[in-house]
Amino acid sequence: MAIHNVVDQMDVKEAYNCWLQYRKVDNDKLFQLYFKSVAAVSNSLIIQSVIQELELAFHSMYGKGPDISQQIHEQTTLILATYQDIKLADYGLNGDIFQEINDEGYVIKSSKNGDKEAILLIGKTDKGVLYATHHLLRLIQTGETLKELNILESPRNKIRMINQWDNMNGSIERGYAGKSIFYENNKITSNMERIKDYARLLSSVGVNAISINNVNVWKVETNLITNVLLPDVAKIADILRAYGIKTFLSINFASPIEIGDLTTADPLDNDVKQWWKQKVEEIYRYIPDFGGFVVKADSEHRPGPFSYNRNHADGANLLGEALQPFNGIVIWRCFVYNCMQDWRDRSTDRARAAYDHFKPLDGHFLDNVILQIKNGPMDFQVREPVSPLFGALESTNQVLEFQITQEYLGQQRDLCYLVPMWKEVLEFDTYSKGAGSTVKTIVDGSLFSSKISGIASVSNIGNDVNWTGHTLAQANLFGYGRLIWNPDLAAEEISREWIQLTFGNDETVIEQINHMLLDSWGIYENYTTPLGIGWMVNPNHHYGPNVDGYEYSRWGTYHFADRDGIGVDRTMETGTGYTGQYFSPNKEMFNSLDTCPDELLLFFHHVPYTHTLKSGETVIQHYYNSHFKGVEQVEELIARWILLEDKIDSYRFHNVLERLKMQLKNAKEWRDQVNTYFYRKSGIPDEKNRKIY
């Protein structure tokens, strides 16, 4: 990999390489046995990327490269091919197994090539070969045996997407790791080498789609779909294509006005329809495999069909119709709410918005339109319930949206491993078709036989040398890719794999970092907003405590704390009725104080500070205890990390230590501000007589 704008030191290089370290393997016998002679039978742009990756990896691990041929001969020990390019029966393979997997699936199998042992990497397509190659490289780096391999893999989700929130001035909305790697000074970057390295990282964990600009599309970014910038967008698409990644663009719904010669963007206007058809045709002339559009409309002051008294199906289908001839898709975000609504009116509830807007439109969208739904009904909070829109849309394609970048979860200054949170979302049972109607079966398309579906997430990378600001935040990008490929993987399995690939196989390192990662979400929740309340952050930048904060708090706090209690009444009887958007038995579980899970209590109920939780603590005492505990837990994180000083390179050790010290300062601020606020609000002292300012 290229190293840019930094001193070329080994430890800095390791920070840049993330989990593609390809550390030295002291086993020349293994190289001679399996990797000395490679046959890349298939030939394509993606296979060329595979060969480049293998050459880089083997030179790094073994100090030598393989002999590479397009023909299988008697010395060949590693065979790369699609299942149509070799005689499967010669290697003990039955072609029927390739009917069990989708086009990105693969087989890794030990076999014989004449008298020699051989490893087969056989994909259903060349993408399968790419993913099989990275699987093999993971096995080597984690020290797994290569004998008697018999692996059949296929991604669970069809769309496995990254959303970049990059702006063309080089900034990144909710970016915490430097500036954009795609744009600078309102132009597309000339540094294509770093984009190639990003494509390598994404493809290594199975990501197959990316939108390369912010969903909030401003004036300059609107020009990305013009002939002024499309030639440079095409250069990025060329790089991504070589790694099996489709390019998407976020677009401005008002583009016909902004960059066209029209006075309206009305989705039912014939001139508007024709304008979009011509624009799409132009885009495909530059990028023949263009994926399609991502659209944020009618939310947070962005234009949309509401301006013309049209609905979201009208708006999305306008674009879907234009993209249909080219097999393009529209990803239409469901993050739609009135940010100017008066939160003091308790009949108004932002949590209801996505369901209220989109449930009535189920079945009205074209087959190439996909609704993108945030994992929770609010906005990527520390903890919130799963959006009730999952399960409610039986006749509409849908994509689940996560946020890898830690907007409300410490902004990559505080450690917060997100895979356990995402696992909870994916395993949540909606009961939409009875027990077993989990979110993961909805977004993989199996529950409702969706034509196209999957998972997308907001990226957490920037141009910092280590990509993510906090070195350990790399685990979230890696973990996201691995989890959406196979949602059945355990959070601990994913974290352990990342640690081994990133730091090596020292058991002490693995054990300590694994503890840190797996505990981190709970720790962050303890010292910020336990019990599901959310929204106690500083306005606009969203880092640090501000109990009555958040940019729309002029309409009243989100937590509705008064002298007697705290929480939002979302019950059907006395509250906003939000609980009624769920299927039974979730509806009844969340609606009842007796059965509502403690961790979401204040999201669904307004209760007295003296309300007793299932743990036996009162709400106010839980708040005091959790905030004191959270600070102590961050101190434990620091102690764990210091134990590894002699086992981690200097650059990454000091990067993480510096971030953990920032986290401790942040945790103390949260503890002191939150505890003081609620002590003064409630007048109830801490039972343990700890110091509250």
- Kindly list the catalytic residues: 300, 379, 407
End-to-end Cα, the chain, rounded Å: 51
Answer for the pair 488, 441: CB distance below 8 angstroms, yes or no. no
CA distances in angstroms from 669 to 85, 165, 416, 489, 558, listed in the order given: 62, 29, 17, 36, 20
User: Which of 375, 384, 681 is CA-nearest to residue 525?
Assistant: 384
- Please give the helix or strand (H or E) that residue 11 lies within, else none: helix 10-17
Could you give the 3-state DSSP secondary structure of residue 511?
A: helix
Hey, which residues does 209 pair with through a beta bridge? 161, 246
Could you give the 3-state DSSP secondary structure of residue 248?
A: strand
Answer for the pair 527, 670: CB distance below 8 angstroms, yes or no. yes
- Please give the helix or strand (H or E) that residue 183 lies within, else none: strand 183-184
Classify strands 369-374 and 37-40 as parallel, antiparallel or unpaired.
unpaired
- Rounded CA-CA distance 552/545 in Å is 15
Specify the length of the chain in residues: 693
- Rounded CA-CA distance 664/633 in Å is 9
- Rounded CA-CA distance 454/477 in Å is 17
Type of residue at 404:
I
- Rounded CA-CA distance 449/444 in Å is 9
Cis peptide before 585 (omega within 30 of 0): yes
Could you give the 3-state DSSP secondary structure of residue 12?
A: helix
Hey, which residues does 106 pair with through a beta bridge? 123, 153
Helix 491-503 crosses helix 419-427 at what angle (to 10 degrees)? Answer: 150
Classify strands 159-163 and 187-188 as parallel, antiparallel or unpaired.
unpaired
Query: Which residues, 6+ apart, have CB-to-CB distance to 475 below 8 Å?
Result: 417, 419, 495, 498, 499, 502, 517
Query: Which residues, 6+ apart, have CB-to-CB distance to 431 below 8 Å?
Result: 391, 437, 583, 584, 585, 586
Taking phi over 0 as left and psi of -120 to 50 as alpha, with beta for the rest, 205 belongs to alpha
Q: Tokens 């403690």 identify what position?
A: 598
- DSSP state for residue 88 in the 8-state scheme: G
Could you give the 3-state DSSP secondary structure of residue 375?
A: coil
Six token digits for residue 249:
């663009």
Query: Which residues, 6+ apart, have CB-to-CB distance to 168 below 8 Å?
Result: 183, 186, 187, 188, 213, 220, 221, 224
